[in-house]
Amino acid sequence: MKLYYFVFKILLYTFIFLGISNSLYSKVSDFNQDAKNISNYFSGVVAFNNFDYSISNRFFDNFSKSNNTNKKFSSDYMQSLINQGKYSDAYNYSKRLERKKISNFESNLFLGLYEFKNKNYSDAISYFNNLEPTFEHQFVFDPLKISLINWSKIVISSNTDSIELIKSMSPNYKSLKSIQEIFANCYLDSANTENYFSKVINDKTDKFYRYNFFFANYLIQKGDRKKSESIINSISKKFPRNLLINQFVESLENNEKNENKFNCKNPQHILAEIFYTFANALSVQKQYKLSNFYINFSKYLNPNFLSYNALLAENLVMLKKYDQSRKIYEKLFTLGSFYKWHASKEISLILEEQGKEEDSVKFLKKIYDKIKINLYRTFDFANFLKSHKKYDESIKLYSKILKQVDKNHPLYPKVLDRRGTAYERTGDWKMAEKDLMLSLEILPDQPYTINYLAYTWIEKNVNTKQALTMLKKANNLKKNDGYITDSLGWALYKLKNFSEAKIYLELAIKIMPNDPIINDHFADCLWMNNKKIQARYYWNYVLSLEDTEQELRNKIENKLLFGLEKS
């Protein structure tokens, strides 16, 4: 972080110097030479790059009055306005750029969407045609521009023949194309709409779970509530953690208002969902800043689809903007119990990141005690307690779940696994071993459960040959996992196969170079392979790691003094 600010300062001072120097030799400058304007600009940039949009807006507002023509500034300013939801200001500023003939990607995009929203579709196409590729938006540029122009033409024609526009999209955009075919058929009230929905939600190659909601919602609007409930209830059992689907189920069951308004007869809603698709893809690519820019367009086009805020909040967490994220998560409470529980878990994690661990536990416990309880919420809360070393409390909740479900329930082996590891942490290995073995009896191919049981056997010097066989299986199930690779190497070490153990432990080091235990295991193995100087190097390295616990430090200090033979 210090290096980032140092580099930024160098660039900043260089930029100021160049700007001032250039103004000495040119009658026209991109920047007003007034020191206050320069200060406003760079203060705005710093705030913008730190994702503090309300602060950046204040500085950018002042700088914008200087009639500058700097493209980087105008792009940043537009993004800052959109991220703040200041759409009127964004419109006025975009028109100002247009009058000066210095429009940019962001201003043309906004003006196109503004005209689209106001049903001036021909004008919208003009703005979308003016979109030019930029480095920042290159990941989404082509499919976005094509989609915006196509949908403007579809709405103008209102003819099923216009669906061909979407069908002609490049096969490179297969998923996007499939989604848009659904919405086009739905918008144009095609007889094929249900077939397209069925084709997409049953597609095994892509994750289209979300579109079960849109299908069920479409059927409700068509008056077929019975079929809608059948589809959504079935899929909710298959994906019990999908927020959009399960919140819709709850609202149907309780005859409550659905806070995620979507109507495929409304082209703005369709574009909003297309922007969500791009925002989600950008988030997966860790482009969180740009993802938020696009998700705010979703909110602009469909402000009544409140779950768009969930992606916005997740991105802000990744950007470490915890206070902003928490405010958004708190707004999600109004969507229903599924969103409230999800948001509460995220807020508790935010509190942990802020170093408020006790507040984190108190907060989630308070929510859990008040919210409507189901199996998955109890499982989540038990896991939360276990992660905070409240093992006895977590064991009680795990036991409660096991009394409520049979062995065929998907949660059953998972709960046994978690309860088993909690028992092991309390020192009750007999109960831990029983749970872990039963979990594997029900679901044999759980690599982490296999690893936990087999590694503990290795550490206890029992069932070592069986443990080795199990760890080889786990390693095949989950290749290149540092913990499992380390366990396999350690099992070989315990069986005195030091040369083969070195191969796996060295691989584990490459996968997880900063893990203290893995480094300690590798050092032990080096020592037994008569690589004693190298072994001491790795032991010393473990002592330099912040995460090394005191007990391990003491053992390593002993090894450094006496080697393995005497320590």
pLDDT digits (tens, 9 = 90+) for 178-191: 999 999 999 999 99
The residue with tokens 């709960």 is: 415
Is the pLDDT reported for residue 461 higher than 60?
A: yes
pLDDT of residue 5: 46
Is the pLDDT reported for residue 20 higher than 80?
A: no
pLDDT of residue 76: 85
Query: CA nearest 403: which of 428, 424, 378, 385?
Result: 378
Reported pTM: 0.83
The radius of gyration of the chain's CA atoms, rounded to the nearest angstrom, is 29
Distances (CA, A) of 508 to 21, 33, 470, 519: 54, 57, 18, 9
Over residues 213-242, the mean pLDDT reads 91
Query: CA nearest 93: which of 107, 112, 108, 109?
Result: 107
DSSP string, 420-437: HHHHHHHT-HHHHHHHHH
Q: Which residues contact 131 (CB under 8 A, 6 or more apart)?
A: 105, 108, 109, 112, 141, 144, 145, 148
Question: Under a CB-based contact definition with an 8 Å cutoff, are residues 317 and 325 in contact?
Answer: yes
Least confident range from 26-35, 66-75, 393-402: namely 26-35
pLDDT digits (tens, 9 = 90+) for 137-187: 999 999 999 999 999 999 999 888 889 999 899 989 999 999 999 999 999
As a whole-number percent, the residues of the chain with pLDDT over 90 amount to 77
Query: Residue 257: which pLDDT band, with cuts at 50, 70 and 90?
Result: confident
pLDDT of residue 49: 58
Over residues 277-304, the mean pLDDT reads 96
Over residues 346-362, the mean pLDDT reads 95
Average pLDDT over all residues of the chain? 88
Which H, E and C letters describe 391-403, residue by residue?
HHHHHHHHHHHHH
| Distance in angstroms (rounded) separating the CA atoms of residues 399 and 383 | 13
Is the pLDDT reported for residue 24 higher than 50?
A: no
Q: Which residues contact 231 (CB under 8 A, 6 or more apart)?
A: 212, 215, 216, 219
Least confident range from 247-256, 384-393, 440-449: namely 247-256
Q: Which two tokens stand for residue 343?
A: 């948001």
| Dihedral (CA of 423, 419, 407, 483) sign | negative
